[in-house]
Amino acid sequence: MSPTLLLALNFPPFGGGIARMMGEVALRYPDHGLLVSTGTWPGSDASDPRFRQTIDRVPVGAKRLRTLNGLLRWTRRAAALTRRAEPAFAWCDEVKPAGYAAAWLHARRDLRFGVLAHGADLLLLQKKIRCSRFKQWTARRIFQGCAVVVANSGWTANLAREVLDSLGCRALAADVRVVHLGTTPSRFRPGIDSGPMRRRYGLDRGPWLLTVARLDFHKGIDTVIRALPAIRAAVPGARYAVAGVGSRRDALEALVTELGLGDAVRLLGFVPDTDLPALYNAADLFVLASRRHDLLVEGFGIACVEASACGLAVIGSRSGGIPEAIREGETGLLVDPDDPAAVAAAVVTVLEDDALRRRLGAAGRAAVEGYYNWDRVTADLIRIDREFRRP
């Protein structure tokens, strides 16, 4: 069977959620069933051998693939790869810049392609096409050649339909597919020894709330910090750890000082991916109060399913695609991300009821094993690939 081409700006060892998804999907496509076209990145030589697929790297830094020169070199390289391997379908890791190369291959080689949509990428595109007729024209040209758009949540799918309708691509808008994301249950699992992690990051006593996210405003970390005094009034030992880096660290530290929370809040900084499973196991409850802000939004919320995979009860926000990563009342609870009192009430409810906390955690683990995992995600994408590929 002819292979599939993956045009990916984001691919390991490049960081970020999209790159992680592309890598996990590539690992699970049939042997030699996927050709990956991407840019170079420090560490590529060490990362690429773990894939059974062909990884063809344009001799351009991955970040420079967005430039005109980088995009031209990427398109020429992908065209040569297509002539040699004759793929029957292509995936774009996001609309732009991969969509430019895909549209060119569609026009010149009749290669059908699909676009993966994540949420914030569409918000940015929506803003650009409202402000620029040229951006509107280029987006329309990409989508006019596109066979299918696949969104990571129903929320993202609705946004994709808005964008496509505004571009006049109504048939494509009517058939946007949804493939919820997942994690790796063999890696993120309960029962991992968390002792070394607790000692490394000073996570003594507790119970500990945990957020794994960039320190950005839209992640709602400030809401959880504002909720903490009320949480500690009911559960005096409760403390809050945040794994991540970002521009809001100084503001969050100032808020902790303002509220007199002292060492009740730990900003752990960068935590390597290899440490995350043990870190989740060191916590008692996962909280993600993310909210939409400007062009930033949580299109799905992979950290929520990572926490569920480790047997944690999860509290998330009614924002973006997060309600589709948490089954309310089954694997966790949902709250208003701008209401510290609501966050505090949900946290106290779970921390004071051990049976509820265990039930939510066990159900979350079962949901990951049965649905929220990369094996199912890849199987869904392969089915869509087979549906739209060239005969």
Q: List, for residues 218-268, the tens digit of each pLDDT value.
A: 999 999 999 999 999 999 999 999 999 999 999 999 999 999 998 899 999
Residues 357 and 377 in one domain: no
> What confidence tier does 390 reach under pLDDT thresholds 50, 70, 90?
confident
Residues 98 and 122 in one domain: yes
Q: What is the pLDDT of residues 112-156, one digit of tens each?
A: 999 999 999 999 999 999 999 999 999 999 999 999 999 999 999
The whole-number pLDDT of residue 140 equals 96
Is residue 391's pLDDT more than 90? no
Is residue 205 assigned to a domain? yes
The tens digit of pLDDT for each residue in 265-290 reads 999 999 998 999 999 999 999 999 99
**Domain presence at residue 226:** yes
Domain presence at residue 311: yes
Same domain, residue pair 360 and 224: yes
Counting the structural domains of the chain, the total is 2
Q: Are residues 129 and 67 in the same domain?
A: yes
Q: What is the pLDDT of residues 180-226, one digit of tens each?
A: 999 999 999 999 999 999 999 999 888 999 999 999 999 999 999 99
Residue 305: which CATH number? 3.40.50.2000
- What does the pLDDT read at residue 132? 93
| Residue 238 included in any domain | yes
Looking at the fold, whether 324 and 294 belong to one and the same domain comes out as: yes
Contact 325, 151 (CB under 8 A): no
For residue 154, the enclosing domain spans: 4-182+373-388
- pTM for the model: 0.94
217 and 176, same structural domain?
no
Task: Identify whether 190 is part of a domain.
Answer: no
Average pLDDT on 338-342 reads 97
